[in-house]
Structure 1
Amino acid sequence: MLMHWFLAAVHLLAFAVAFAAVLNRGTALRRVITEGAGIRRVLLADNGWGLAAAALLITGLLRAFAGYEKGTDYYLQQPLFHLKMTLFMIILLLEVVPMVTLIRWRIALGRGTSIDTGRATLFARISHLQALLIVLMVVAASGMARGVVLNQL
């Protein structure tokens, strides 16, 4: 029972950290454009976002498929689970280009070379969209946890 509780708590906290981190990354990216500074803040927020996403993925997989919650059959037949996973996949797809670019920024920063911030505004918008999608994931998750069935609404 403690493991169930622990995984649920970590999963919920990871949502909060993910939301805050991706929102902070977006805000920091906007400041890079307007103020011309704050690259390290962007990268720090990106680190938090990456760790939270990993925690969401690991705890979510354990909860859904390792027997710690309602069971695999429940999740696979629950439309809100499919919605939540679709939102997560959209978030991950949106993350590919910013992730690669921010890795390049880290490398350039480590070498002391200049960083091309030309797409920072786009990445800020992507980050803020991802924050919204995280909120929608929480809405889907709360319905799923309560056994809400979409065709009963």
Structure 2
Amino acid sequence: MTLEALLASLHLLAILTLVVFLSSEAALCRSEWMNAAVVRRLARLDMIYGITALVLLLTGIARLVWGVKGLTWYVSQPLFHLKMLLFFVAALMSLRPTLAIRRWLKALNTDGALPSEEAVRKVRVWIMVQAHIIPVIAVVAAYWARGM
């Protein structure tokens, strides 16, 4: 049970960290606040968000493999599949902001250019959609944990 508690704790810590860094990106990605420091900070936040998403995935896989319930139980649960679908949708959606922020950082480092208002607005929309998918995953997990 100690391993199960450790894996669950690490998974929960990854979830909370993911939410913090995605929320930070959403709060910071605004055209009216855009300057060189913000572009650099967004790039760092996005990198940490990506690493955290990977840690979240790895701790989830660890729970599947070494957790008490085991892989067979997890894959037999429909809500598990819904959670995974939503996680991968959010992960795929994160690619567009990540690539845009990397382009912004490259342009900033190359010639000091900042992103346009329209570019910032589009990236913020993608970040906000992800930020709204993540709580749905938590709701699915709550129902799933109660046997629904």
TM-score (norm 1): 0.83
Contact 2:39/2:105 (<8 A) preserved = no
Q: Displacement of 1:101 after TM fit?
A: 1.7
Deviations 1:4-52 (A, max 9, x none): 222211111111111111111011111xx11332212212221221121
Deviations 1:70-107 (A, max 9, x none): 11111111111011011011102211211222222333
Aligned residues: 145
Q: Displacement of 1:3 after TM fit?
A: 2.6
The equivalent of 1:20 in structure 2 is 20
CA distance in 2 between counterparts of 1:6 and 1:108 reads 43
Deviations 1:99-126 (A, max 9, x none): 2222223333444542434421121121
Contact 2:80/2:144 (<8 A) preserved = yes
Q: Displacement of 1:58 after TM fit?
A: 0.5
Q: Give the gaps of 5 or more residues in structure 2.
A: none
SS of the residue corresponding to residue 119 of structure 1 reads helix
Q: Spell out the pairing of 1:11-50 with structure 2 (5 A cutoff).
A: 11-30=11-30, 33-37=31-35, 38-50=38-50
TM-score (norm 2): 0.86
CA distance in 1 between counterparts of 2:108 and 2:129 reads 27
- Indicate the structure with greater helix content: 2
Q: Give the gaps of 5 or more residues in structure 1.
A: none
Q: Spell out the pairing of 1:129-144 with structure 2 (5 A cutoff).
A: 129-144=129-144
Identity of aligned residues (%): 30
Answer yes or no: is 1:67 the counterpart of 2:62: no
SS of the residue corresponding to residue 116 of structure 1 reads coil
Residue 99 and residue 36 in structure 1: after superposition, are their counterparts in 2 closer, same or farther (change >3 A)? closer
